[in-house]
Structure 1
Amino acid sequence: MNEQTNETRDTRETPETSETSEIPGTRETSARKSEFTERIMRLPVLDTHTHLVGDRLCARDFWEIADYFWLKRELEAGGYPPHAAELPEEERIRAFLDAYRATRNTLMNRVFTQIFNQLYGIDITDEASVREADAAVKRSSRSPNRAQDVADRLNVRRFVVNVAEHADFRGMRDNAVLIPRIDGKLGGWVRDIAEAGDPAAAFARTRETIKALIAQYRDDGCPGIMTTLPRYDSSAHEKKHVGPGIGRDDILMLLLHEIAGEAERRGMLVQLFLGVERSWCGTAVPANDTARILKLSALFETYKCPFELVVASELNNLDVVQAAWNFPNVSVGGLWWFNFRASTYRDAMQYRFEALPALKSSLIVSDARCIEWSYGKIWLVKRLLADFLWKQTEEGWIDREAALQVAEDWLYRSASARYGAS
């Protein structure tokens, strides 16, 4: 009986058995998943929304990376002083390290950690490591090819900016794609019409301004225009008469009709960024409005220009997918502001995977102000994407060739086709 037991145990523990088993979790499965992940990590990327500035793409010191808005929000929740930049350097470093250790579970902390691990080979552990990191950032920022080298690590081919003066990317193979933002102008137009003695005449003048502006953008080679939108109570399917007493939200909707109509005539994209509210307090907050996309649907139905919807509010992630499913000229863009979380990405990818051809969806909105944060956030999204698509293949919903096609469409080809950018 002992011999039989030993024989059974030896057979069960034979190395060849464990290495060739197809049971999830075995070494072979792990190796196949690693190879799949590496293929995802090498796919091309188009970063569809950044705040990069062409003549200062790289961070110039440690603090330009450490004080990035999204990380700083989490650090402050962990006790980091709001005015830490005003502290003496040693005190500032100590305060940073305390907050960094307190927030090790948060998403931006993990991205920050990967930025320094992968781009500088440094673990942030103590005051000496912060000083080492600061010296490394300063040293690398002086290299004329640094931004291109960082982009190449994840095969990020193009970036989008919204300010013309920022589009000349120094030291990189290609300049940024320019999609001018008009939200500052849009708010002024609404105000001027609402406060005019003759709103109809003011509206007529604004219509001509819009035509001239979009024509100029088209002549400049811009593929489209971008605007954020505030909370609105009006709907695009109700076109109100312009006259004394017309509400500002009604004016906004009428102007959106003019913008979409002119974009259609010029063959341009309209990119709408939605879900961040600034009217409730002095801090931008996410606003989940279940009617937000519904109120715009008459624009999608009336005008044949491409629309790209980018949202910052979690509950609207399904709404934009439904709009893209209903209207062939609507696509969904990357996850913006408060949507940039791993859990939200997983849900959004599932919505998109089930309902939309992959060419109608883009994933990447880094919102980065330096190339290092674009790298870190794209690294995270690629890892999440690899995990998501691997699971789809393991469950038999899609084969690996199709999964890689979906990944490349979501990361690059969808946005590249809409923007005419290769």
Structure 2
Amino acid sequence: MSIGLDASREEFTEYMMRLPVLDTHTHLVGERLGARDFWEIAHYFWLFREMQAAGYPADAMELPEDLRIAAFLEAYHGTRNTLMNIAFTQIFKDLYGIVIRDAASVREADRAVKKSAQSTGWAQEVADRMQARRFVVNIPEHAEFQGMKHNAILIPRIDGKLGSWVKEIELSQDPAAVFVQTREKLGQLLDTYKADGCRGIMTTLPRYEACANRKVVIGQGSTRDEILMMLLHEVCAAAEARGLFIQLFLGVERSWCGTAIPANDPSRILKLSALFEAYACPFELVVATELNNLDIVQAAWNFPNVHVGGHWWFNFRASTYRDSMQYRLEALPAIKSSLIVSDARSIEWSYGKILVIKRLVAEFLWNQIEAGWIDQETAFRIAEEWLYQSAAKRYGIQD
């Protein structure tokens, strides 16, 4: 893959679209990578939320097909301006050659998806179309990618265990003793991951009031947040001892109501900064909230072992990408930053969201070239790092 250093905007954009990518967070399941019908693509969480805002019923799958299609089309046409609608439209245009207009086109799309679901090579074909070299999953049982050139990169998530450990210590009659026992369990767990060839672990974190720079002795009266923070110290120490990196996914709150919502906490990263300073293990920070985009760049600027990841949950919008790319361009070497987080549940949505990111990268970098801040050669190198090389180096991927 090559291009001259005097490329036109169209040539530059085409080159960007052909660059390899590493999708650093997905919910893909190895034995069923592709969607099985139209509705598995149409009801992807993010598009579904936007469609609901346009009047699409939450119980759409319970409706007779004719009524469901009619309701879908009304909401689909009502959300043509939203980013997920744009990605969805491009999925069917690019992968199936279908433009969604009416009931007939929806039924045609459903037949096309059901047909592709029967093809053992479909997932690899879609991955090749978007130049996706590798994908990350967090559940061991999902990592064997059937019909693909490579299995997924497994970065096991420990948030379920972390939450149960915090609760167990909090409710114990002897929190200090249970904390020591938990430290041993944690070490054994990370030893297992290390032996299985994993290069790192991932966890989400709930909202926390405790700060990493205030270490306490766990005992009777220790708060839940204190226990969580001291366990995070143990996680970091154990990861450092085993040469593992830590992915932290931050900014989604589930404690305020029954629905997950973004919580812009200006102290979120600050409260963790003592961990970045105390432990030499690499950290990758992925946030779901717009205001924390600058905070993670500041952390990566201050601490050599901190890297910034892609945009998660409510942070996956063109506006937030443009702002965060500006922060990253000005402050960080490109090798410290990854951009691709599709959060996809099917290979088709990985395609659609990667397409959006690549388009935004091409648009942003071209504008920087035109403004005279960087040249084309620098832009090419930045894009290669942001889309693939930074994550590949962190995860130990050798081409």
Instruction: Output the TM-score relative to the length of structure 2.
Output: 0.98
Amino acid in structure 1 at the alignment position of 2:330: E
Quote the residue 1:380 is aligned against.
Answer: 356
- Distance in 2, matches of 1:312 and 1:260, equals 22
Quote the residue 2:329 is aligned against.
Answer: 353
Instruction: Give 1:251's match in structure 2, choosing from 210, 227, 235.
Output: 227
Q: CA deviation at 1:53?
A: 0.1
Cα RMSD of the aligned pairs, angstroms, is: 0.8
Instruction: Give 2:216's match in structure 1, choosing from 240, 257, 265.
Output: 240
Q: Deviations over 1:35-82 (max 9, x none)?
A: 000110010100000000000000010000000000000000000001
Instruction: Give 1:125's match in structure 2, choosing from 97, 101, 110.
Output: 101
Quote the residue 1:282 is aligned against.
Answer: 258
- Distance in 2, matches of 1:213 and 1:245, equals 28
1:105 equivalent to 2:81? Answer yes
- Distance in 1, matches of 2:218 and 2:360, equals 48
1:82 equivalent to 2:54? Answer no
Amino acid in structure 1 at the alignment position of 2:262: P
Instruction: Give 2:163's match in structure 1, choosing from 172, 184, 187.
Output: 187
Instruction: Give 2:344's match in structure 1, choosing from 356, 368, 390.
Output: 368
Q: CA deviation at 1:388?
A: 0.2
* 1:393 to 1:31, Cα distance in 2 relative to 1, 3 A: closer
1:152 equivalent to 2:128? Answer yes
Task: Give secondary structure in 1 for the equivalent of 2:311.
Answer: coil
- Distance in 1, matches of 2:258 and 2:218, equals 32
- Distance in 2, matches of 1:241 and 1:170, equals 48
Q: Deviations over 1:119-162 (max 9, x none)?
A: 00000000000000000000111111100000001110000000
Task: Give secondary structure in 1 for the equivalent of 2:307.
Answer: strand
Quote the residue 1:215 is aligned against.
Answer: 191
Q: Deviations over 1:358-380 (max 9, x none)?
A: 00000000000000000000000
Task: Give secondary structure in 2 for the equivalent of 1:333.
Answer: strand
Quote the residue 1:68 is aligned against.
Answer: 44
Instruction: Give 1:297's match in structure 2, choosing from 273, 277, 299.
Output: 273
Instruction: Give 1:48's match in structure 2, choosing from 15, 20, 24.
Output: 24
Quote the residue 1:410 is aligned against.
Answer: 386
Quote the residue 1:15 is aligned against.
Answer: none
Task: Give secondary structure in 2 for the equivalent of 1:378.
Answer: helix
- Distance in 1, matches of 2:109 and 2:219, equals 60
* 1:31 to 1:270, Cα distance in 2 relative to 1, 3 A: closer
The alignment of Structure 1 onto Structure 2 pairs a total of residues equal to 393
Instruction: Give 1:175's match in structure 2, choosing from 130, 136, 151.
Output: 151
Unaligned runs of 5+ in 2: 1-5
Task: Give secondary structure in 2 for the equivalent of 1:157.
Answer: strand
Q: Deviations over 1:188-237 (max 9, x none)?
A: 00000000000000000000000000111000000100000000000000
Instruction: Give 2:302's match in structure 1, choosing from 323, 326, 337.
Output: 326
Task: Give secondary structure in 1 for the equivalent of 2:33.
Answer: coil
Q: CA deviation at 1:421?
A: 1.7
Quote the residue 1:338 is aligned against.
Answer: 314
Larger radius of gyration: 1
Task: Give secondary structure in 1 for the equivalent of 2:320.
Answer: helix
Unaligned runs of 5+ in 1: 1-29
Instruction: Give 2:245's match in structure 1, choosing from 262, 269, 280.
Output: 269
1:310 equivalent to 2:268? Answer no
Quote the residue 2:3 is aligned against.
Answer: none
Question: Identity, % of aligned pairs?
Answer: 69
- Distance in 1, matches of 2:290 and 2:116, equals 37
* 1:31 to 1:298, Cα distance in 2 relative to 1, 3 A: closer
Amino acid in structure 2 at the alignment position of 1:282: G
- Distance in 2, matches of 1:31 and 1:236, equals 49
Task: Give secondary structure in 2 for the equivalent of 1:331.
Answer: strand
Task: Give secondary structure in 1 for the equivalent of 2:310.
Answer: coil
Amino acid in structure 2 at the alignment position of 1:48: T
- Distance in 2, matches of 1:151 and 1:169, equals 12
Quote the residue 1:26 is aligned against.
Answer: none
- Distance in 2, matches of 1:368 and 1:324, equals 26
Quote the residue 1:231 is aligned against.
Answer: 207
* 1:31 to 1:239, Cα distance in 2 relative to 1, 3 A: closer
Q: CA deviation at 1:395?
A: 1.0
1:198 equivalent to 2:138? Answer no
- Distance in 2, matches of 1:198 and 1:372, equals 50
Q: CA deviation at 1:31?
A: 7.7
